[in-house]
Every structure is written in structure tokens, then in C-alpha cells.
Copies of this chain bind each other. A is one copy, B any other.
Amino acid sequence: MSEARPISLRERQKEDRRARITAAARRLFVEAGLEKITIEAIAEIAGVSSVTVYNYYGTKSGVLLALVAESDRELLGTLARDLIGKPQEVVDLVLRFFEIICRHALDHLDKAVWRQVISASVSGTEPRFGKSYHELDNRLANVLIREVERLKAIGKVPATSDATHLGWALFNLQNARFVEFIASDDVHPNQILRHLRNDLEALMPRPAPRD
């Protein structure tokens, strides 16, 4: 077969093991929730020793972080495809942004698992975790900020508002609602979407439209 690549067998095996570990972890986490799952169990399903899992990911949270990072790349792609350039109003922009993120989150992991993600991102126990998660937040916020800039250019945002500041404020706002969404299994996406719409309309009362 055509393998004249500079990728050694060793590297490929490592990739393979990594993939097997994250796949096993995703499956088990979603099936039973992070705390119910032991590293041993992940290792067994992945077909490696538990020590290998530790060598690769350091801690259980480390494995979780890898899952989040994976789903991340995809989310940015989805946003580029389904959001960028489309909305023509600020409220609409934030609502769509939020909707895409919620849908994406549930597609990839469980609410119970996301709770652990958010929890770990702020706990400070795993400094690497917090840092990585924060970087994701930055990338997401930047998507929103650039869209706000676009809307400002076409006059949909008051000239007196700084686009970056507004972008961050809107990001934080929707993020608060995202956490609320994740926090309870009983909250329905539409319900929370309404909350967010209420937030936005209370903060930015739309000027009376003229026919």
C-alpha cells in the first residue's frame, strides 16, 4: 500500500490508541455519567492498560478535555457554515448562535457530562483544563464579535456601541443561558431560547420600525 509517509508506525499506533480511548470514554460517559466511570473501565474497552490512559491524558478530566476539544473543531466549522454572514439583526444573530451551540452540545455529549465540563473548567484543579476551555470561549466569542462588526457596518448596531465590547457582552449573556440550559435536564431548548430573547429585548429595546 502507498505509505511513503513520514508518519512512523509508532505514531500511528499512538493515534489509534488515543482514538480508541476517547471513543470508549465518550461512549461510557454518555452511558453512565463521568463519575460512575472508572479509568479502568475506559482502558479495558479501549484495549489498553489504565496506566496508558494516565500517560496519555494525565487525569480523568484530561480525557474529558480531549472530548471537548474534538467537538470544538467541529463546532467552529458548523458556525462558519450555518451562521457567518446570515443574520441581519443583532437579536437574530445571538439567538441563532445560541441555538447552534445548544444543538451541537447535545449532539456530542450529555447534559450530565457538560456539567462536569463546565465544573472542571472553573474548578482550577486542572489548570490545563481551564486554560483550554477559555481558549475555546475566546474563539467562539470572536465569531460573534466579527458578526457584530458586520452588522455595525450595515447600520444595525448603534454607532456609539463598541463592537468588541458588545460582542463580548452578548457572548457572556448567551453563555449564562447556556449554563442554565445545561444545569437542568428538565429545561427545554425553546424555553431557554425564549429567556434569551427576553434578555435581549429588555436590554436592547428595538426602535419602533417604520413601514
Listed in ascending order, the chain A residues whose CB lies under 8 Å from chain B are 35, 112, 115-116, 118-120, 122-125, 130, 134, 158, 160-162, 165-166, 168-170, 172-173, 175-177, 179, 182-183, 195, 198-205
A205-B183 Cα distance, complex, nearest whole Å: 32
Q: Which residue of A173, A183, A202 has the most chain B CB atoms within 10 A of its CB atom?
A: A202
A191-B179 Cα distance, complex, nearest whole Å: 24
Tell me the smallest distance from the CB of A133 to a CB of chain B, in Å: 10
* Pairwise interchain contact A201-B165, C-beta atoms closer than 8 A: yes
Partner of A199, one of B116, B122, B168, B183: B168
Partner of A172, one of B119, B161, B166, B173: B173
A199-B134 Cα distance, complex, nearest whole Å: 19
* Pairwise interchain contact A124-B115, C-beta atoms closer than 8 A: yes
* Pairwise interchain contact A202-B119, C-beta atoms closer than 8 A: no
Partner of A179, one of B122, B166, B195: B122
* Pairwise interchain contact A160-B205, C-beta atoms closer than 8 A: yes
Partner of A169, one of B112, B130, B182, B203: B203
List 24 A-B residue pairs with CB atoms under 8 Å apart, sorted by A's residue number: A115-B122, A115-B124, A116-B124, A118-B122, A119-B119, A122-B122, A122-B179, A122-B182, A124-B183, A158-B205, A160-B205, A161-B205, A162-B198, A165-B199, A165-B201, A165-B202, A166-B203, A168-B195, A168-B198, A169-B198, A169-B202, A173-B173, A175-B176, A203-B204
